[in-house]
């Protein structure tokens, strides 16, 4: 056997391929915003079409439902978790646009570069990798020569911790969606007690009953139309972000293991939905 056959192939020193990793930018989620606007529009329109003199605005009922939901939800969580409530709601109104198929394609390209030119060649793409914090962190460990098992362990730990944070954030909204109708029922009971206490005065029965029913009305709107859909939206956001980071983790471990890029392509496709699977190699 010749010496050339036993010598490890030297890394390719040709020109570096161009890889562009899009930066995930937040934008307003029109589906959420328009969904809420049209839903409230339908309710208001139905009220106005009836041309009734009934008053659907009652400050005391709003106070019981809205403030009661907030304070009752606060009992289930710590102060630090409640401080994130505003961020949780704003996050549900925003979305980060990213293409899992494009990400997977870029990850395979980086694997090909590492296979041909060596792992250190990935440092030439530092500016692109920095567009995604988790991507940069993962590939920095690969470039620094971390053991593949250590990379998988550290990234898995971070993914698990982030999943728990997102789960807790979504649970705040989910809990509020459960409490709001209950607060509406409590307000209704308060109204009924007030009505029964004034049975000798028939003129107060109608207004007291209206107030009692309004609290149930407000509780149903807050819980069913606002909080429950936002909780589902937050869970969907968490699932999408988790998929992105799982793909990055798979790629980082595969490159650290010096796997064949074709194997990485198969691993990524096993995580992607059928419509988003890539065909990097023909």
Determine the pLDDT at residue 207.
72
Determine the pLDDT at residue 5.
37
Distance CA(276)–CA(61), nearest Å, equals: 48
Position 195 in a domain: yes
Contacts of 89 (CB under 8 A, 6+ apart): 173, 230
Sign (positive/negative) of CA torsion 48, 49, 52, 58?
A: negative
Position 41 in a domain: no
For 69, the 3-state DSSP assignment is helix
Determine the pLDDT at residue 141.
94
Position 185 in a domain: yes
Q: Where are the beta strands (DSSP E) in the chain?
A: 26-28, 94-96
Give the DSSP H or E segment for 26. strand 26-28
Determine the pLDDT at residue 7.
37
Determine the pLDDT at residue 36.
86
Position 258 in a domain: yes
Token duo for residue 61: 């009922």
Position 280 in a domain: no
Residues in a beta bridge with 95: 27
Domain that holds residue 137: 59-80+98-272
Determine the pLDDT at residue 231.
86
Distance CA(65)–CA(70), nearest Å, equals: 9
Into how many domains does the chain fold?
1
Position 205 in a domain: yes
pLDDT in 10s for each residue of the chain, 282 residues: 334 333 344 455 556 666 777 666 666 677 788 888 888 888 888 888 876 666 788 888 888 899 999 888 888 887 777 776 666 666 667 777 778 888 999 999 999 999 988 899 898 888 888 888 899 999 999 999 999 999 999 999 999 988 888 788 788 888 999 999 999 998 888 888 877 877 777 777 777 777 788 889 999 999 999 889 888 888 888 888 889 999 999 999 999 999 999 999 999 999 998 888 888 876
Token duo for residue 217: 């009305």
Determine the pLDDT at residue 128.
86
Position 246 in a domain: yes
Q: Indicate whether this model's pTM tops 0.85.
A: no
């Amino acid at each position: 056997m010749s010496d050339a056959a036993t010598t490890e192939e030297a890394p390719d020193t040709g020109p570096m391929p161009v890889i562009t990793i899009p930066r995930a930018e937040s934008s307003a989620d029109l589906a959420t915003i328009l969904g809420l606007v049209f839903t409230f529009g339908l309710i208001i329109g139905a009220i106005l079409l009836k041309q009734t003199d009934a008053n659907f605005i009652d400050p005391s009922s709003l106070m019981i439902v809205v403030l009661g939901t907030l304070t009752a939800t606060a009992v289930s969580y710590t102060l630090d978790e409640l401080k994130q409530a505003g961020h949780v709601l704003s996050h549900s109104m925003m979305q980060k646009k990213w293409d899992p198929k494009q990400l997977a394609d870029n990850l395979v390209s980086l694997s090909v570069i590492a296979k041909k030119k060596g792992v250190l060649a990935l440092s030439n793409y530092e500016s692109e990798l920095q567009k995604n914090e988790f991507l940069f962190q993962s590939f920095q460990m690969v470039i620094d020569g971390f053991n593949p098992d250590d990379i998988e362990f550290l990234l898995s730990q971070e993914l698990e911790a982030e999943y728990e944070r997102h789960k807790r954030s979504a649970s705040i909204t989910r809990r509020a969606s459960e409490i709001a109708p209950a607060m509406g029922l409590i307000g209704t009971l308060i109204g009924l007690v007030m009505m029964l206490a004034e049975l000798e005065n028939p003129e107060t029965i109608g207004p007291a009953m209206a107030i009692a029913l309004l609290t149930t009305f407000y509780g149903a709107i807050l819980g069913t139309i606002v909080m429950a859909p936002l909780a589902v939206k937050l869970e969907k956001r968490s699932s999408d972000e988790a998929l992105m980071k799982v793909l990055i983790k798979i790629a980082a471990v595969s490159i650290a293991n010096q796997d064949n890029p074709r194997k990485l392509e198969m691993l990524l496709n096993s995580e992607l939905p059928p419509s988003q699977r890539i065909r990097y190699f023909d």
